[in-house]
Structure 1
Amino acid sequence: MREEDLPNERQEEHGVEDEFDAAMLGEDEAGYSGGSLTDDVVALFEDGKTYVEAELAYQKSRAAFAAENGKSAALLGISAFALIHLALIALVVGAIIALAPIVTAFGAIAIVVGVLLAAAFALVVMMRRHTRAIGKAFSEGEK
């Protein structure tokens, strides 16, 4: 085998097997790629374009993943809320049944409804306090 038939080390690094492929790499025998500044800028632009395309594809897949898991989480949350609501209804009915022998059915209903209305009123008062605090925070900046 002649020495010209053996591929040089640079060609082996790039998987180049013949002289034509070595010329396509733009390298001379010393291994220097003598590209111009314009070629370098074009290559940089192409690399940036490739990076942006890859980043967009990544963000699209990430958004699709988040949307799919968001839908599942919302469905599970709604289901949990429905079960909690049913449990609270059962608690109210159970409280009425438990109090009925002591204070009659109508008395038990009145007690349970009264307690629930008092709790709802307390929650509304606390909600108003918080919303007024928010309103004051925004109105102080306008003066």
Structure 2
Amino acid sequence: MDQVTTQPIVADPLDDAARRSLIDDIRRLADDGKTLAEAELAFQSSRARLVGASASGIATYAAVAVVLAFFAVLGLVVGLLLALTPLITAWGATTVVVGGLLLAGWIAFRLAMSRWRRLNRLLSDKATTP
């Protein structure tokens, strides 16, 4: 009869360990670490390039949005002046519109200062941890 020799499916780890040395294992570990670091550097570099390429487009659209919003507010102010002039004269309409804008600006400033103070309290050393 033919005798078939079979190899074990899983190699004996003790035989494998006997053939390797600690220095070889450390070299392989260092090579793996180097490969991992190179891959991470390549990944982060590609992310940085993507962000850099996208940032100019984002900034352009943001600038266009700010300019259009400014013109919309300007149109609202002119429209209010034209609508209020027959009711309370030109000077009265100007006073009401400017007063309303100053009031809205003051409220926005107070809200911004409130949030700024809250952020400073949270970030200061005196703040207690929750």
TM-score strictly above 0.5: yes
Aligned length: 111
Q: Report Cα offsets for 1:9-47 as digits up to 9, x if no partner.
A: xxxxxxxxxxxxxxxxxxxxxxx7944332332222222
Q: Greater Rg, structure 1 or structure 2? A: 1
What value does the CA root-mean-square deviation take over the aligned residues? Answer: 2.8
Tell me the distance in 2 between the aligned counterparts of 1:99 and 1:40: 85
Equivalent residue letter for 2:56 = K
Cα drift, residue 74 of structure 1:
2.2
Select which of 119, 130, 136 maps to 2:104: 119
How far does the alpha carbon of each residue in 1:53-85 deviate from its partner, in whole angstroms, 9 at most, with x for none?
Answer: 111011110111122223322221121111101
Q: Does the residue aligned with 1:141 lie in a helix, a strand or coil?
A: coil
- Structure 1 consecutive aligned stretches of length 4 or more whose deviation exceeds 6 Å: none
Normalised by the length of structure 2, the TM-score is 0.68
Question: Which residue does 1:91 correspond to in 2?
Answer: 76
Cα distance in 2 for partners of 1:94, 1:75 equals 29
Larger RCO of the pair (alpha carbons < 8 Å, separation 6+): 2
- Structure 2's unaligned 5+ residue stretches are 1-15
Which amino acid in the other structure matches residue 27 of structure 2?
V
Are residue 82 (structure 1) and residue 67 (structure 2) matched?
A: yes
Residue in 1 that maps onto 2:50: 65
State the TM-score, normalizing by the size of structure 1: 0.63
